[in-house]
Structure 1
Amino acid sequence: MAFNTGLSGLRAAQVDLDVTGNNIANASTVGFKSSRAQFGDLYANGFLSSGSNPVGDGVTVQDIQQQFGQGNISFTDNGLDMAIDGDGFFVLSDGGETRYSRAGEFGIDKDGFVVNNQNMKVQGYQADADGNISGVRGDMQIQTDNLAPRRTTNLLTDVNLDSRESVLEQRIRSWDDLTVDQFADGESITFDVNGQLNEVTFDSTDSVDDIVNKLQSVSGVNASASTSFAVGDMAGADFGSFELYVGDETSPRAIDLDGVSDVDELAAKIRQQSDNSISADVTDGGELVITHNSGESLNVQYDDTGGTPVFDETEQGVVSITTDRSVTDMESSVTAIEDAYVGGDVEPVNAFNPEDQRTYNHATSTTIYDSLGNSHELTQFFVKEPSPGNGVGESQWSVYMEIDGELVGGTDEDPYTATFSESGELKSIRDQNGDVSSLGEIVIDDWVPKDPNGDPNGAEGPPALGPGEEVPSPIPEDGEYGSAFVVDLSDSTQYGAAFGVNDQQQNGYTTGRLSGLDVSDEGVIFARYTNGQSNELGQVALATFQNTDGLSPVGDTAWVETFESGQPVIGKPGTGTLGSIAASSVEESNVDLSEELVNLIIAQRNYQANAKTIETSDAVTQTIINLR
């Protein structure tokens, strides 16, 4: 019996050595879990009793139990390496067979599937084209195709407009210049300047100076007069065979043409021999233009003795009117000019000009994209306007939009009007039709994307809207509304602080190539592209079991489900009892080498001791055999 007892001890010690050696051998195996041999003693028992003084029959190996304690997490240079911090196993598909592992050394195969070193496919939840992760589990696959461009449909602009800014000087000119010979006694012109009516009455005896002075008597109105006469193209004229007289209507002065050989010399002679009020210039086309700078009547006589008829012409002065205030209306009682002025549109002299910084208070630019992924520069201009309440209660700003140097949104004809409350918050935006949006949105639906040469570049253009149809907000990204997009100014303010852009975001981008992969704590795999975008590709799945010790190891640091383990509970990392994911990391083996080396010494000693038991039993048996 001692032989059997010693043999059982030798077998147990050998198993202990094997388990300890296996642990030591896998001390550097990623995701490896150490094992421990568990022993139990043996007794011979009868049906009724085991005796009053039973002697044991040795030892047996009851179980080789794996220790699923957490291993250390170390960082790597592979973006797809993952370590589980907490409970759970990666779910792997090996040709249809499901396996579970803690080893997260993953890569991509030739078909884009996420696999481990044994080409087992990692299981997870795929994402759709918009990055929405579904609940359907399958093989994780990375799309390596270029990221298709996305047109801009919504632009958020959060700016602060400086309330301390003053209204810019806005000089407005009348529809046409006024000729001084059209006025009779009692005729008048009425200016409506910011709601203030100013009437100017004329007499038939008014000189040009009288007319100018009367107009300038209106606050903010400036007037000037000049008289121009185009003699015509004189290139090829014989300057030695004619006479020229220039001056006022009653006494024009003869111009000495001695030495004149071309039209430029003729213009110089006129300037030299006339008073300071008369000038002469030559246009690029060679035409001689004589001007009376004070607006008096100008008489020009031209006598060509070489056969050209005598030319005698008198021109009347023309008055130009400008004002540094906004002229909202202009009426005239002058019958001759009634049709030309009443009801017409005033012409801004220094109207908004994107190329002239003096015509707007603030501006900000951002990049937007068309349906082909071409970038375009959108600039928003803000011009402070006179307050509708004389500075009390509300403030108004005009908003202009320009893309690649071309005004859009109808702002080439009329801007949008943004109204701010007394607390500096945006109340509404009014469009050119008078429609008011309390949401602070501007819809741009007339933009034609163009190339650097100014020609349409083939991208989607303005939407074809039916009767009563409007562009919705937010705009869907299915291409139904062409190049239309919404500018959201709802967060903009008007405080007594410097102009600043607090936030500006748009949802478009150009095409991009895959440049890298990232993994979040929830196991979501993100693709990084060269255009600065990132896209969710999927999320890895983790599994947990009621009895982890019941899993059966099958090699390659993997386990399979057994009856004892129970069925797996599969979910997303960080949910339920499942642990989180550490990206660019792996879980090291949980083998403690110091402990295993001590166990190795103990197993060796146990083996030697059991061998000694067998040796002693052999000696005793030999003694009995030698009895005579």
Structure 2
Amino acid sequence: MAFNTGLSGLRAASVDLDVTGNNIANASTVGFKGSRVQFGDLYASGFLSGGTNPIGDGVRVQDVQQKFGQGNISFTDNGLDMAISGDGFFILNNNGEVRYSRAGQFSIDKEGYVVNNQNMKVQGYTADEDGNLSGIRGDLQIETANLAPRRTTNLQTDVNLDSRESVLEQRVRDIGPVNVSAIQGETFSFQYTDGSADYQVAIPAGADAREAAGLIDGAAGVSASASTTALLPTTLNDTYIQNAQAAGNFTFSLNIGGAPLALDTSPAKVNSLETLANAINNSSETTISASVVDEGSGPQLRVIQSRGEDLTYSFDNGSGTPTTATLQGDVNVTTDRSIAGVTPISGTTNFADAYTASPIRITNEFNPLDQRTYNHATSTTIYDSLGNSHELTQFYVKDPSPGNGVGQSQWSIYMQIDGELVAGTDTQPYTALFDQDGQLESINGDPNGEIIVTDWIPKDATGAPNGADGPPADPTSVVSPIPEPPTSSAFVVDLGNTTQYGAAFGVNDQQQNGYTTGRLSGLDVSDQGVIFARYTNGQSQSLGQVALAAFNNTDGLSPVGDTTWVETFESGQPIIGAADTGTLGSIKASSVEESNVDLSAELVNLIIAQRNYQANAKTIETSDAVTQTIINLR
């Protein structure tokens, strides 16, 4: 009996030594979980009764139980190394056999699969070609091919336009010259774009150009001036003057508004048209000037009076019939964009007709090459269907406030790609309206603030089309957002978040969804186990997500070597999900979970197991000595 008892103790102590030694041997094994031996005593008993004084039959090993406590997490320099912080196991495909492991030392095989050191493939949720994760579980594979380019279909621009900026562009009408004789006795009125009251002008019947210009100039948004030009007939020439001076009967006079101009026309001073012009210019009247011109009929004397007063000239060579004429002045009027129109009230309609016939002239017109013609500009890079980059620049030009200027502001928007205006802004800019709070109301009537560019032809550096998709055949069919897959170069510029505050111009955000071709440059793993590929074009894309498995009875798993376990009846079926969801732990990238073996404790356990073994051996030795004593009896 004592022999069997001691022998059972030796066997139990030996198992204890084996387990402790295995723990010590795997103290540096990544993902290893230490084990401990659980003992149970043995007693002999009958079927119906255990006896009154049972004596134990020794000890047996009831179970070798693994301890699945968390091991320390240490950093590594391998981006695909992963450690689980919390509950869960990696799922591995071992040629069709499913295994579970806490060892996250992974790499990529020649086919791009994520594998462990034994070439078991890591299982996870796969992603489509656009990086969208699915619920389908399979072997994770890293796609090493180049990332195909994506054309720009949407550009979001969030800017603040400075409401304090001044209006740079002026649109004016130049009316005239209108001879005062055509509008004498006429009454008309100016209308305004901001709804202000009409301004009425009445030109007296006997008014000269100077008086008429003064009356018109009183209107807001209107600038008027007057001048009188006299082009004397060609009969007054050098020969005429010389003959008349030789005969002593040359006379010449000028009256300005009925007042004679003092001139020295003596033969010593005047003997040609040029000297006559000099005599006029040397007079004391500063509002008059003279010059000799030739408009095809021969030299003529031209006299200009800068205030628009009536101008009367007379000259004679003693023939007794002087040449005399009185000329009335011309009115020149310039109106700015605040003038909506001119309405005749009484008399003739000559001034209103002249306004209608006058073209609009733009001063300081928008020019993308001249920074003085726009208030703000911002640029960003967009991409065509081939992945070629192009520079899109948005120009903002402040306009006069619409209506009466209260509660609303207006800006013009121009767009340029690689130096060429697009979106039709070469002929007509887009108009952005803002309310009294600086919020965008609409762009060309669209409350969403979107501009759809449908006329862009991608070109190369020489200015020739580069072979990428061009404008749609039917621009009116383009809708926002651009449907996938896109089939043209059309894209949407979203300015819905644009504001107009009294603060400096600033680009708060600017994002577009296109990119050029990219090569794989690195991998990153998130706490949720999502594997991101980084590309040389600055893009990143999800390639898949590592799946984790948990069990209701982790102790029921069966170890099968290579730091892996398999499912058993006792463990129950696995509960599979993404990392950091439910009861599953999170994943730490570029890290591994160390063995949870406490080496100091194991060394102590080793001493205890050794003494247990020695003590049980002593039991056998003592029993042998007693037995030998009995044998030696005679």
Instruction: Flag whether TM exceeds 0.5 (same fold).
Output: yes
SS at match of 2:393: strand
Which residue of 2 is the match for residue 258 of structure 1? none
1:33 matches 2:47: no
SS at match of 2:58: strand
Which of residues 514, 523, 526 in structure 2 aligns to 1:517?
523
Which residue of 2 is the match for residue 14 of structure 1? 14
Q: CA deviation at 1:30?
A: 0.6
Which residue of 1 is the match for residue 320 of structure 2? none
SS at match of 2:130: coil
1 CA distance for matches of 2:151 and 2:381? 11
* Residue type at the aligned position of 1:617: S
Q: CA deviation at 1:388?
A: 2.1
1:413 matches 2:427: yes
Contact 2:342 2:352 in 1 (8 A): no
Which residue of 1 is the match for residue 469 of structure 2? 460
TM-score (norm 2): 0.78
Q: CA deviation at 1:591?
A: 0.4
Contact 1:3 1:614 in 2 (8 A): yes
Q: Which runs of 5+ in 1 are unaligned?
A: 227-245, 255-270, 279-293, 303-309, 431-435
* Residue type at the aligned position of 1:473: S
SS at match of 2:580: coil
* Residue type at the aligned position of 1:458: G
Q: CA deviation at 1:574?
A: 1.9
Q: Pairwise mapping of residues 140-289 of structure 1 onto structure 2 (< 5 A)?
A: 140-168=140-168, 170-172=170-172, 174=174, 194=193
2 CA distance for matches of 1:20 and 1:146? 51
Contact 2:237 2:300 in 1 (8 A): no
Which of residues 552, 560, 573 in structure 2 aligns to 1:567?
573
1 CA distance for matches of 2:280 and 2:433? 49
2 CA distance for matches of 1:301 and 1:348? 30
1:446 matches 2:455: yes
Which residue of 2 is the match for residue 289 of structure 1? none
Q: CA deviation at 1:181?
A: 8.9
Q: Which runs of 5+ in 2 are unaligned?
A: 240-273, 282-287, 305-329
Q: CA deviation at 1:470?
A: 3.5
* Residue type at the aligned position of 1:592: D
Report the CA distance shift for 1:366/1:29 in structure 2 as closer, same or farther (over 3 A).
same
2 CA distance for matches of 1:571 and 1:276? 106
Q: CA deviation at 1:445?
A: 1.3
SS at match of 2:155: strand
SS at match of 1:602: helix
2 CA distance for matches of 1:21 and 1:464? 78
Report the CA distance shift for 1:459/1:206 in structure 2 as closer, same or farther (over 3 A).
farther
Which residue of 2 is the match for residue 360 of structure 1? 374
2 CA distance for matches of 1:322 and 1:81? 78
Q: CA deviation at 1:148?
A: 1.2
Which residue of 2 is the match for residue 599 of structure 1? 605
Which residue of 1 is the match for residue 89 of structure 2? 89
Instruction: Encode CA deviations 1:523-551: one digit per residue, 9 max, x unaligned.
Output: 11111111111111111111111211111
Q: CA deviation at 1:199?
A: 6.9
Which residue of 2 is the match for residue 533 of structure 1? 539
2 CA distance for matches of 1:200 and 1:116? 98
Deviates most, 546-555 or 315-324: 315-324
Q: CA deviation at 1:222?
A: 6.0
Which residue of 1 is the match for residue 260 of structure 2? none
* Residue type at the aligned position of 1:512: G
Larger Rg: 2
Q: CA deviation at 1:344?
A: 6.8
Which residue of 2 is the match for residue 69 of structure 1? 69
Instruction: Encode CA deviations 1:457-511: one digit per residue, 9 max, x unaligned.
Output: 2211111227xx442222224123x111111122122222222222211111111
Which residue of 1 is the match for residue 246 of structure 2? none
* Residue type at the aligned position of 2:55: V
SS at match of 1:373: coil
2 CA distance for matches of 1:29 and 1:535? 33
Which residue of 1 is the match for residue 257 of structure 2? none
* Residue type at the aligned position of 1:379: T
Which of residues 360, 375, 379 in structure 2 aligns to 1:346?
360
Deviates most, 589-598 or 335-344: 335-344
Question: What is the root-mean-square deviation of aligned Cα atoms in Å?
Answer: 3.9
* Residue type at the aligned position of 1:492: T
Contact 1:448 1:461 in 2 (8 A): yes
2 CA distance for matches of 1:296 and 1:58? 141
Which residue of 2 is the match for residue 259 of structure 1? none
Q: CA deviation at 1:604?
A: 0.6
2 CA distance for matches of 1:276 and 1:373? 75
Which residue of 1 is the match for residue 110 of structure 2? 110
SS at match of 1:541: strand
Contact 1:249 1:298 in 2 (8 A): no
Percent identity over the alignment? 69
Q: CA deviation at 1:453?
A: 2.1
1 CA distance for matches of 2:461 and 2:358? 37
Contact 1:172 1:326 in 2 (8 A): no
Q: CA deviation at 1:297?
A: 8.1
Which of residues 413, 418, 429 in structure 2 aligns to 1:404?
418
Which residue of 2 is the match for residue 234 of structure 1? none
Which of residues 356, 381, 385 in structure 1 aligns to 2:399?
385
Contact 2:106 2:116 in 1 (8 A): yes
SS at match of 2:170: coil
Which residue of 1 is the match for residue 627 of structure 2? 621
SS at match of 1:606: helix
Which residue of 1 is the match for residue 387 of structure 2? 373
Q: CA deviation at 1:48?
A: 2.4
